[in-house]
Amino acid sequence: KNQVEQSPQSLIILEGKNCTLQCNYTVSPFSNLRWYKQDTGRGPVSLTIMTFSENTKSNGRYTATLDADTKQSSLHITASQLSDSASYICVAFGNEKLTFGTGTRLTIIP
């Protein structure tokens, strides 16, 4: 059964600090992995999309890594800002289906 598990479920950090969110997936065959940022009450916004042959991809202060062998991905946020407070959703695509994680709720405090 295809699954995507994210950890932690929630995270609180101080403004300016770095953090890393984790995503483990069991999707076969695997094609690509996506990270989305979703502000409360809004639609998700794409941060990165990586195929199985890509190891890392950056989008400003967001850097995603992918290890297709261990089926793990991480999203690293550098120098966090208050506007980074949101839910971060990991999504794996494979076998013509999208499998969504339940997200990590990140709160940045001043």
Partner 1 sequence: KAGVTQTPRYLIKTRGQQVTLSCSPISGHRSVSWYQQTPGQGLQFLFEYFSETQRNKGNFPGRFSGRQFSNSRSEMNVSTLELGDSALYLCASSGRDISYEQYFGPGTRLTVT
**Could you tell me the smallest distance in angstroms from the CB atom of residue 93 to partner 1?**
6
User: Which residue, 62 or 100, is less far from partner 1 as judged by CB?
Assistant: 100
Residues in the chain: 110
Binding window for partner 1 (CB under 8 A); candidates: 13-21, 22-30, 44-52, 60-68: 44-52
Distance, in Å, from the CA atom of 89 to the CA atom of 38, rounded to the nearest integer, reads: 8
Q: Which helix (H) or strand (E) holds 72?
A: strand 72-77
Q: What would the x/- binding string for partner 1 be over residues 4 to 43, using CB under 8 A?
A: ---------------------------xx-x-x----xxx
Cis preceding-peptide flag for 44 (omega within 30 of 0): no
Q: Whose Cβ is closer to partner 1: residue 77's or residue 90's?
A: 90
Question: Does 102 contact partner 1 by CB under 8 A?
Answer: yes
Say how far apart CA 5 and CA 72 lie, in whole Å.
10
97 binds partner 1, rule: CB under 8 A: yes
Q: Phi/psi at 51 (nearest 5 deg)?
A: -85, 175
